Structure 1
Amino acid sequence: MRIAIPAKDNKGLESEVCEHFGRARYFVFVDVQDDKIENVEIVEVPFEEHSPGDLPNFIKEHGGEVVLAYGMGRRATAYFQSLGIQVVTGAHGKIEDVVKDFMQREG
């Protein structure tokens, strides 16, 4: 499973979740297999301004299957769902902790 999380900076698992999903400059993509973190990729968002659908398509292009975010509007959530990407809100704190919490709930 490939999880995408909006990040405040480019420190990977040590980054904090960016509370404003649409303004995140970086996304951390975490590959999880058998409840273990296998790979971490930090990707800078390639655009300053975005239109509806830009971020969901960006995440889809990078293989994201799940998005963990602090919050997200209904329109963005619906767009992700139309692409087959699961959205989980309420994420806050260090990305490594958020991913581990998610794995425990899903496992």
Structure 2
Amino acid sequence: MKIAVPVASQDGLNASMGDSFGRSTYFALVELDDKSVKFIENPARQEGSGAGIKAVQTIADAGVEAVVVPRLGPKAIQALKDAGITAFEFTGERLEGAIEAFQAGELSEFSPEGCGHSH
């Protein structure tokens, strides 16, 4: 299974979490079978609007099945759902913690009602 995590740096498992899904600098693509990590730039981060939706397309094209994120907007949640990608909430600071929490089944799924996004 492959997951995507928004990160602010490319520092391996020590990478700092990105503040937001659509505006993160990079995505860490994590292959859980062998714990390999590949970093890709988020081309949507500079968009004036619709960054979350464009970011979803980027990770969907990479074959991601789930995302682990600190927060999501309602449009990004819907775009992820439409792409068949499940979103999980993680508020820690490092990529390694996000991977461990995901694998341990400790994370809750996002829902459009509780999106963690201030309106």
TM over 0.5: yes
> What corresponds to 1:27 in structure 2?
27
Give the alignment's Cα RMSD to 1 decimal. 1.7
Q: Which residue of 2 aligns with 1:8?
A: 8
The residue type paired with residue 18 of structure 1 is G
Shift, 1:46, TM fit:
2.6
User: Which of structures 1 and 2 has the larger relative contact order (alpha carbons within 8 angstroms, sep 6+)?
Assistant: 1
Q: Between Structure 1 and Structure 2, how many residues are aligned? A: 103
Instruction: Show CA shifts across 1:16-47 (max 9, x none).
Output: 111222211100000012xx52x110001234
Distance 2:21 2:43 in 1: 15
Q: Which residue is equivalent to 1:46? A: 43
* Separation in structure 1 between the aligned mates of residue 41 and residue 76 of structure 2, nearest angstrom: 19
Give the TM-score normalised by structure 1. 0.86
Distance in 2 (alpha carbons) for counterparts of 1:74 and 1:89: 14
Unaligned ranges ≥5, structure 2: 107-119
Which structure 1 segments of 5+ residues have no match? Answer: none
Partner of 1:89: 89
Give me the identity figure in percent: 26
Question: How far apart are 1:53 and its partner, in Å?
Answer: 2.0
Considering fraction of residues, name the structure with more helix.
1
Q: Secondary structure at the residue paired with 1:53? A: helix
**More strand, by proportion:** 1
Structure 1's consecutive aligned runs of 4 or more residues displaced over 6 angstroms after TM superposition are none
Is residue 55 from structure 1 mapped to residue 79 from structure 2 by the alignment?
no
